[in-house]
Amino acid sequence: MKQLYNKDIYDVNKPVESYWEEVSSIDQNKYPELVGDQSCDVCVIGGGFTGISTAYHIAKNYGGDVRVLESGHYGFASSARNAGFCCLPATKLSTTQLIKKFGMEETKKFFSSQIEGVDLLASIISENNIDCEKVGDGNLDVAHHPGSSEELKEWGNELKEYFGINTKWIPKEEFDEVGHQSTEQFGAVFTEAGFAMNPMAFMRGFASATVDAGAKLYSFSRVKKWERNGSHKLITDGGSITANKVVVATNGYTDESLHPSFANRMMPVLSNIIVTREMSDDEFKLQNYKTLNPICNSREILYYYRRMPSNRMLFGTRGDTYGDDASALKMREFMTQKFRGVFPNWNNIDVDHYWRGTVVMTRDFVPAFGALDDDKSVLFSYGYQANGNNTTVYCGKKLAEMIYESNSGETNISKVYQGLSPKIPLGFLRLWYLRLYLWYSNFTDKSKKEI
C-alpha cells in the first residue's frame, strides 16, 4: 500500500473522533462486507460522496448494475468528516487565471456547474428527506486583514459580473452587527449560493437512497489488487468483483500502488477541525456571533468556521504534515490557540472535539475528471481543492452520464475539469513541497498582519 501519511490516518478500524461521528449514531455494520466472487457492469472504488453519487445516479437514472467497494464504513473518510460547507469554487486559481487558461466560455461553464452542484446537493437532500441539519442561505468570505478587503470585494464583483452569481459586499461595521466580531474581520463578501450541513447525516441518508435506487454497497472491503484481463477484476480480502467499467473515487485516501495511472498526481493535505462545547446565547453575544452561514477567511492558509445549529463553534485550518496520533495532540493545541486568537472573548470556552482528514490539491489547482486515455473503461474524479461537497455530487452525476450516455467517452463537462492532473515531479518529495508552501504561506500571512 502506497500512501503519503502515517498509517494512523488510514486506519479504518479506528473511526475518527469527529463530532459528527458522535452525534450521528452510525450503524457500522449496515452494509455487508464483500464475500465471494461477483460480477457487475460498473464497480466504484471508494464510498465517499464521489463514489456514492456515481452509484446513485447510475442506479436511479439508468437502472445500471453498479456496486461500491469501500475500505471502511460509509462515512469513514473526508466526505462525512468535513466541515459541512457547501460552497464554491473547487479551484485555487483566480478568475483571471481560469479565464487565461481555459477561456471565458469554459470558465463560465465551470462556475455554472458549481452552482448546479449546490442545487443538486440541495435537491438530493430534499427529494430523499435527509435530515442533515441544512442551514444558511449562502457563503461568506471574510477579509482577515484591512489589506484583503479590496481583493475580496473585487472577487465578489467578478462573480456577479462574469458569472451572474449574486454577491454583496458587507462592510466591517455592518458585518460586526449581522455576522460576528473578531480580531480578523474587516468586511465580508456574501455569495448567495450554498449552505451548511451535517455531512455524516447526509452520508447516511445518501447511502440509503443509493441502495433504495438499486445499487449494492459493500463496507470494510478494501480493493487490494486490480487485475485487467479483458474485464477488470477487483480483489478484496473476502472476494472479488469482475466489472466492465471501474470508477476510481478514492481522492485523498488513494492507494497509489493500485493503478499506475494515479501515482504522484494528487497532493493530499491534512485539514483539521475543532468543535467547542455547546455555548449559551450570552456566550455567542460576546463575539456578537449571529450568522449560521459557513465562513472562510482570506488567509493564504485559510481559517474556516461556522456556528452550528447545536450552538457550538466549528473551526478549521490546515497544518500538520505527519499524520501520526502524536502530531494530532499538538495540532489540537495549535488550533485552539488560533481559534482564541480570532475570537478572544471565547478564551474560556472548552474545545471538546478535534479531528482531521485529507483534502486533495492538484498541480494545476483544478479538479481532475474523466476516463483514462489508454483505457476508457477506467473513470475517475478527484482533486476538489477542499471544496468537495457540491463538486463530488456533480461529478458523480457526470460520471454516470459519461458511462451511460456517451458512446465516445466524451462529456459536456467544462474543460476546467477534464483529464488527469499533471504528475508532481519527484512525487516522493510531496510532503516537503507542502512543508515549504506552509512555511512560506505562514510567513506571508504573518507579514500581512504587521502592515
Q: Give the x-and-dash track for 305-324 against ligand FAD (CB under 6 A).
A: -----------x--------
Question: At 313, phi and psi to the nearest 5?
Answer: -105, 135
CB of 427 to ligand FAD, least distance (A): 18
Stretch (H or E) spanning 295: strand 295-297
CB of 370 to ligand FAD, least distance (A): 15
Using the minimum distance from each CB to ligand FAD, give the nearer residue, 81 or 149.
81
194 contributes a contact to ligand FAD by CB under 6 A: no
Q: How far is residue 154's CA from residue 297's CA, in Å, rounded to a whole number?
A: 15
252 contributes a contact to ligand FAD by CB under 6 A: yes
Q: Which stretch in 83-91, 329-337, 417-425, 429-437 sits in contact with ligand FAD by CB under 6 A?
A: 83-91
Q: Give the x-and-dash track for 215-244 against ligand FAD (CB under 6 A).
A: -------xx---------------------
Burial class of residue 199 in the structure, from the number of CB atoms within 10 Å of its CB (0-12 exposed, 13-18 middle, 19+ buried):
buried
77 contributes a contact to ligand FAD by CB under 6 A: yes
Cα 80 to Cα 3, 24, 50, 209, 377, distances in angstroms: 20, 10, 12, 16, 28
Q: How far is residue 86's CA from residue 122's CA, in Å, rounded to a whole number?
A: 9
CB of 18 to ligand FAD, least distance (A): 8
Q: How far is residue 117's CA from residue 395's CA, in Å, rounded to a whole number?
A: 8
71 contributes a contact to ligand FAD by CB under 6 A: yes
Q: Which of 4, 83, 132, 159 binds ligand FAD (CB under 6 A)?
A: 83
Q: How far is residue 241's CA from residue 217's CA, in Å, rounded to a whole number?
A: 12
Q: Give the x-and-dash track for 256-295 against ligand FAD (CB under 6 A).
A: --x------------x-x----------------------
251 contributes a contact to ligand FAD by CB under 6 A: yes
The dihedral sign for the CA sequence 325, 365, 163, 54: negative
Question: At 8, phi and psi to the nearest 5?
Answer: -55, -35
Stretch (H or E) spanning 361: strand 351-361
CB of 368 to ligand FAD, least distance (A): 11
SS3 category, 105: helix
Under a CB-based contact definition with an 8 Å cutoff, are residues 304 and 85 in contact? Answer: yes
Q: Which stretch in 101-109, 245-253, 330-338, 437-445 sits in contact with ligand FAD by CB under 6 A?
A: 245-253
200 contributes a contact to ligand FAD by CB under 6 A: no
Provide the binding-site residues for ligand FAD, judged by CB under 6 A. Answer: 45-51, 69-72, 76-79, 81-85, 222-223, 249-255, 258, 271, 273, 316, 356-359, 382, 384, 386-389, 392
